[in-house]
Structure 1
Amino acid sequence: MRVVPLGGLGEVGRNMTVFEVNGKLLIVDCGVLFPEETQPGVDLILPDFDYIIDRIDDVVACVLTHGHEDHIGGVPYLLRLREDIPLVGSELTLAFVEAKLKEHRITPVLREVKEHEEVSYGPFDLEFVAVNHSIPDAMACMIRTIAGNVLITGDFKMDSLPIDGRITDLRSFARFGEEGVDLFCVDSTNAEVPGMVAHEREIGPVLDRVFGESEGQIVVASFSSHVHRVQQVLDAAALHGRKVALIGRSMVRNMTIASELGFLTIPDNVLIDARDIGDLPMDRRVLMATGSQGEPMAALSRMAHGEHRSITIEPGDTVIFASSLIPGNENSVFRVINQLMRLGARVVHQANARVHVSGHATSEELLHVYNIVQPENVMPIHGEIRHLVANGALAVKTGIDPSNVMLCEDGVVVDLDEGQARIAGQVPCGYVYVDGASVGEIDETELKDRRILAEEGFVSVYAVVERSTGTILAGPHIQARGMAEDDSVFDEILPDVTDALNQALRSGNADTHSMQQAMRRTLGRWVARRLRRRPMIVPVVIEA
């Protein structure tokens, strides 16, 4: 068996792993990664499909462990390569995926599975078991093949008192361990966190207390797929005589699906349309919104900056961030919090109240799972490098040989042969950027240009020449944008730029490119020395 992670190893997001046996491919998860501030203008980051694009007909199925964007968000882009790849997952997971695919005008092939159900695709025999996570209906998957058995957890934790009563199926984990797990692919996101994750049920009393103390409107920000958190907000609102409006297209879509399938129970007369929330007094309003990660276009960010078309934040309002921080989003979230407090709102978040618990297993929980499964080989997945290393160290503590712990990044190939895993090489595996309507058309060069524009500014220099006579007919003219200095500062260097252009014209073999480069070099050196900046310089030469 060959195992190739194409995302999720080295970052928190865009999870995707490919398993290969006898020339057939099984994909587990296909998610997205959300961009950081160093990736301006990017909407989403996809796994790199280059490894499978020429073998797309060999893909027998795509297993989806649960319905979070970092596990299903890339599915529409995968199905653009081949629309009939079977999608295998639980009821809620497939419902979320199907709704997403409708927006892309894709009709998928769906195969719903339940706990303990077994299905086969090509050389892969799959068995699904329940795991507890911050979204209902999450699954781990046991993959049985002639080359060995792999247990992949997806995202999971070990909440003993989950809201929906659906615990992580450790009995099946133990059964798999007795059968023999040749490779254990384990969620690493919380591997550095000591102890055990708190129970989801502990959030309810905290929300109840915050609701009881709040006199103005309440805004709760959470992930649009966090059904359990929305359930707790609905229950608290009912208890305190408030009405709840769902804000944000993805929030409305996902909660409608969850309610229709029975995963969300809506108390009578609590949920109202967002368009009617303005008819209620402030002390009876609850807004359940997206934007808990500080996303600039999400509902909460627009409220904080006074840009939401119908909702304003007033002094005395309460805003609850009912989610944990995804690494890399800290600055964005704190900016939103500061702006909300500037408006006079009370902000409740994980640092000052227990309004969220993680959905990922901590170090103590991972130790329990290692002792139960007792795998031959371990491959930590789903996390940054520090998380993967910490998870690998936990495996070693439970007696697993360090040489059997595969610490990999995206694109590193692991071969499993006769019960022994080894790193066999690496395949190219870069970031694929979604930028508006374009997919994979921008690269690091374009992003570098965007960063320069944002940080250093922009200078254009243009001239009109007659090459046959070697004459400058107009210019050079210099204009700058995004720089502190007035355009008049360039009067000092203008003669030198003119001389450089004249020399290029008289060289006898001048072309437009060489003339542009002559102006760029002269101007660039002066700006770096005199203004101590490195802006983007765009030279333009027009031949008359």
Structure 2
Amino acid sequence: MPASVYDPPALEEGALRIIPAGGLGEVGRNMTVFEFGGKLLVVDCGVLFPEENQPGVDLILPDFAPIRDRLDDIVAVVLTHGHEDHIGAVPYLLKLKADIPLIGSGLTLALVEAKLKEHRIKPYTLTVKEGQREKVGPFELEFVSVNHSIPDALAVAIRTPAGLVLGTGDFKMDQLPLDGRLTDLRAFARLGEEGVDLFMVDSTNADVPGFTALERSIGPVLDQVIAKAPRRVIVASFSSHVHRVQQVIDAAQAHGRRVAFLGRSMVRNMTIAEELGYLRVPEGVLIDYKKAKDLPDDRIVYMSTGSQGEPMAVLSRMANLDHAIEPGEGDTVILASSLIPGNENAVYRVIDGLTKLGATVVHKGNAKVHVSGHAAAGELLYCYNIVGPRNVMPIHGEHRHLFANAKLAQDTGVPEENTILGENGTVVDLKDGVAEVVGQLDIGFVYVDGSTVGEITDADLKDRRILGEEGFISVIVVVDSATGRIVTGPEVHARGFAEDDAVFDAVKPKIAAALHEAAQSGVRDNHALSQVVRRTIGRWVNQSLRRRPMIVPLVIEA
């Protein structure tokens, strides 16, 4: 892994530069920038969802720093599929320049356009299909069908005079896919015979041995759970998981139940999927959730968002009794999705909350209600053997996934020196079949916090964590501007402490003594006196109460 930040040299003529701006060392905010002949091509532009140690943050974006000053050079943004971690940041990029063309499959672009409509952006789009080739600036693109947990996913082959790059996007090799759309290994083999100079491969399941289970193996389990459920059934899934929703609809219809969608994104995405023919909904199965309350409890299935424990999503609000639908005794809740790393605690809190309310919770840990959308180690080995790439760069995954993927490539004969283990901001140049790391950019997190984008810093988040974990103390002292003598105070107020404010009576003489000593030394500056107060009470609280709270001293001159 690159050890430190260093600038790359000017791009050599005839070379292709690759810069991942997100998605390496994390599961989310996938984005890669390709540069050739002074033009840029962006592949994917997704978001990362915040973890518990990022309080108040709504979304995390890729770092647009490598392209912010070169927006006019971007010839297109290619979107491999419609999941949030690949398309969610598109509105934030197009807010910088609205006429950047978007290229993707029919469903992918429909989901993006609906998202952009909420941001009042009308994009320029080009719809493509597998087998199609397009010339965009100096980049010749070929699109390859891949199987994933959302329909219409594509891999993309990028040809330039510098060489051929094949990016898989997210994929697996389900041999009996629900929509009949296989990962096109014949195209992979053809590209391999042509000579793939750099293979950029999905790493999410690289450390999982064997093969990913078939998507259709979930259907019978869902059918059985729904058949046995005595009352209402609530299924939580990703709002873009069309295949899973289809299986729920099929099981509900088979057992005389109707289905109501909950959550704005779920309603929006499934409406689009049905309109485009990716979701088959029998007549009379769907019902508006407000009308669903009139049905008997054993005749309804709610399909909701919130499978990752997101605080504001439908399922979390249900668990907190903050939703019109309140789960109770006899209800069955199915979490039909995997756990994104970092979300485990939030999900288990929701499971505990639902269980406490009397619901039976079915999840991946106790029933086969989800299979991954990513290729496991066995499938990746097949791909490496079929493609036979000169160089490999694992993408899309945490560091353990990237390392595992690199090891698989090496096991199939890719030399270790041709296996690039990068991180966000690693600059790779490709020319004459040789790919090498030539720089490391300083790539950071860009936080969306309410209506602000990029304003919140890591220091702000640290303050929020301190406030949440250690508490808050304010100290007010009024001093004589001429003598430095204390006129009033110190007054100490605390929040987030179990102890009464009276406990701070013991430190007030220490603050007064420290201020007196500072005054005797000729210190009159308010800021300097505030720091004296901060240090004095900080040491005392740390020693006496074993806490490190946020301390806000206020010294006022009289």
TM-score, normalising length from structure 2? 0.96
Deviation at residue 290 of structure 1 after TM alignment: 0.4
Provide the rounded CA distance (Å) in 2 between the counterparts of 1:266 and 1:100.
23
The reply on whether 1:540 has 2:554 as its aligned counterpart is yes
Provide the rounded CA distance (Å) in 1 between the counterparts of 2:435 and 2:204.
23
Match of 2:194 among 173, 179, 183: 179
The reply on whether 1:453 has 2:467 as its aligned counterpart is yes
Instruction: Name the residue aligned to 1:91.
Output: 106
C-alpha RMSD of matched pairs (Å)? 1.0
Give the secondary-structure state (helix, strand or coil) at the position aligned to 2:293. Answer: helix
Instruction: Name the residue aligned to 2:213.
Output: 198
Provide the rounded CA distance (Å) in 1 between the counterparts of 2:122 and 2:483.
64
Deviation at residue 354 of structure 1 after TM alignment: 0.8
Deviation at residue 543 of structure 1 after TM alignment: 2.6
Instruction: Name the residue aligned to 2:364.
Output: 350
The reply on whether 1:32 has 2:47 as its aligned counterpart is yes
Provide the rounded CA distance (Å) in 2 between the counterparts of 1:383 and 1:202.
25
Superposed CA deviations along residues 136-182 of structure 1, whole A, max 9, x for unmatched, are 00000000001100000000000111111111011111111111100
Structure 1: runs of 5 or more not aligned = none
Match of 1:138 among 135, 149, 153: 153
Instruction: Name the residue aligned to 1:46.
Output: 61
Deviation at residue 246 of structure 1 after TM alignment: 0.3
Deviation at residue 504 of structure 1 after TM alignment: 3.4
Provide the rounded CA distance (Å) in 2 between the counterparts of 1:526 and 1:166.
66
Instruction: Name the residue aligned to 1:123.
Output: 138
Deviation at residue 503 of structure 1 after TM alignment: 3.3
- 1:326-341 equivalences under 5 Å are 326-341=340-355
- 1:51-66 equivalences under 5 Å are 51-66=66-81
Asked if 2 retains the 8 angstrom alpha-carbon contact of 1:51 and 1:428, the reply is no
Deviation at residue 472 of structure 1 after TM alignment: 2.6
Which residue identity does 2:144 align to in structure 1?
V
Instruction: Name the residue aligned to 1:149.
Output: 164
Instruction: Name the residue aligned to 2:4.
Output: none
Match of 1:393 among 407, 410, 423: 407
The reply on whether 1:429 has 2:443 as its aligned counterpart is yes
Match of 2:386 among 360, 363, 372: 372
- 1:5-24 equivalences under 5 Å are 5-24=20-39
Provide the rounded CA distance (Å) in 1 between the counterparts of 2:212 and 2:503.
60
Provide the rounded CA distance (Å) in 2 between the counterparts of 1:187 and 1:305.
36
Instruction: Name the residue aligned to 1:478.
Output: 492
Deviation at residue 314 of structure 1 after TM alignment: 1.2
Deviation at residue 67 of structure 1 after TM alignment: 0.4
Provide the rounded CA distance (Å) in 2 between the counterparts of 1:504 and 1:155.
63
Give the secondary-structure state (helix, strand or coil) at the position aligned to 1:272. Answer: coil
Provide the rounded CA distance (Å) in 2 between the counterparts of 1:243 and 1:75.
35
How many aligned residue pairs are there? Answer: 543
Asked if 2 retains the 8 angstrom alpha-carbon contact of 1:32 and 1:69, the reply is yes
Deviation at residue 268 of structure 1 after TM alignment: 1.2
Which residue identity does 1:311 align to in structure 2?
I
Instruction: Name the residue aligned to 2:286.
Output: 271
Provide the rounded CA distance (Å) in 2 between the counterparts of 1:297 and 1:542.
42
Asked if 2 retains the 8 angstrom alpha-carbon contact of 1:294 and 1:333, the reply is yes
Asked if 2 retains the 8 angstrom alpha-carbon contact of 1:467 and 1:505, the reply is no
TM-score, normalising length from structure 1? 0.99
Asked if 1 retains the 8 angstrom alpha-carbon contact of 2:19 and 2:425, the reply is yes
Superposed CA deviations along residues 279-298 of structure 1, whole A, max 9, x for unmatched, are 01111111000000111111
Asked if 2 retains the 8 angstrom alpha-carbon contact of 1:31 and 1:70, the reply is yes
The reply on whether 1:381 has 2:395 as its aligned counterpart is yes
Deviation at residue 470 of structure 1 after TM alignment: 3.0
Instruction: Name the residue aligned to 1:405.
Output: 419
Asked if 1 retains the 8 angstrom alpha-carbon contact of 2:21 and 2:30, the reply is yes
Instruction: Name the residue aligned to 1:493.
Output: 507
Asked if 1 retains the 8 angstrom alpha-carbon contact of 2:523 and 2:529, the reply is no
The reply on whether 1:287 has 2:302 as its aligned counterpart is yes
Asked if 2 retains the 8 angstrom alpha-carbon contact of 1:461 and 1:477, the reply is yes
Deviation at residue 532 of structure 1 after TM alignment: 1.1
| Greater Cα shift, 77-86 or 386-395 | 77-86
Deviation at residue 506 of structure 1 after TM alignment: 4.5
Provide the rounded CA distance (Å) in 2 between the counterparts of 1:472 and 1:436.
42
Deviation at residue 94 of structure 1 after TM alignment: 0.4
Deviation at residue 466 of structure 1 after TM alignment: 3.1
Provide the rounded CA distance (Å) in 2 between the counterparts of 1:177 and 1:356.
32
Deviation at residue 473 of structure 1 after TM alignment: 2.8
Asked if 1 retains the 8 angstrom alpha-carbon contact of 2:484 and 2:524, the reply is no
The reply on whether 1:419 has 2:433 as its aligned counterpart is yes
Provide the rounded CA distance (Å) in 2 between the counterparts of 1:109 and 1:510.
62
Structure 2: runs of 5 or more not aligned = 1-15
Superposed CA deviations along residues 349-376 of structure 1, whole A, max 9, x for unmatched, are 1111111110000000000111111111
Identity %: 67
Which residue identity does 2:221 align to in structure 1?
V
Instruction: Name the residue aligned to 2:6.
Output: none
Deviation at residue 509 of structure 1 after TM alignment: 4.5
- 1:201-280 equivalences under 5 Å are 201-280=216-295
Provide the rounded CA distance (Å) in 2 between the counterparts of 1:19 and 1:260.
34
Deviation at residue 501 of structure 1 after TM alignment: 2.4
Give the secondary-structure state (helix, strand or coil) at the position aligned to 2:239. Answer: coil
Provide the rounded CA distance (Å) in 2 between the counterparts of 1:485 and 1:441.
35
Give the secondary-structure state (helix, strand or coil) at the position aligned to 2:404. Answer: helix
Provide the rounded CA distance (Å) in 1 between the counterparts of 2:268 and 2:341.
26
| Greater Cα shift, 359-368 or 334-343 | 334-343
The reply on whether 1:502 has 2:500 as its aligned counterpart is no
Instruction: Name the residue aligned to 1:315.
Output: 329
Provide the rounded CA distance (Å) in 2 between the counterparts of 1:187 and 1:234.
30
Runs of 4+, deviation exceeding 6 Å = none
Deviation at residue 469 of structure 1 after TM alignment: 4.4
Deviation at residue 55 of structure 1 after TM alignment: 1.2
Provide the rounded CA distance (Å) in 1 between the counterparts of 2:44 and 2:480.
60
- 1:70-81 equivalences under 5 Å are 70-81=85-96
Provide the rounded CA distance (Å) in 2 between the counterparts of 1:209 and 1:347.
14
Deviation at residue 125 of structure 1 after TM alignment: 0.3
Give the secondary-structure state (helix, strand or coil) at the position aligned to 2:456. Answer: coil
Provide the rounded CA distance (Å) in 2 between the counterparts of 1:473 and 1:251.
62
Match of 2:84 among 69, 80, 90: 69
The reply on whether 1:3 has 2:11 as its aligned counterpart is no
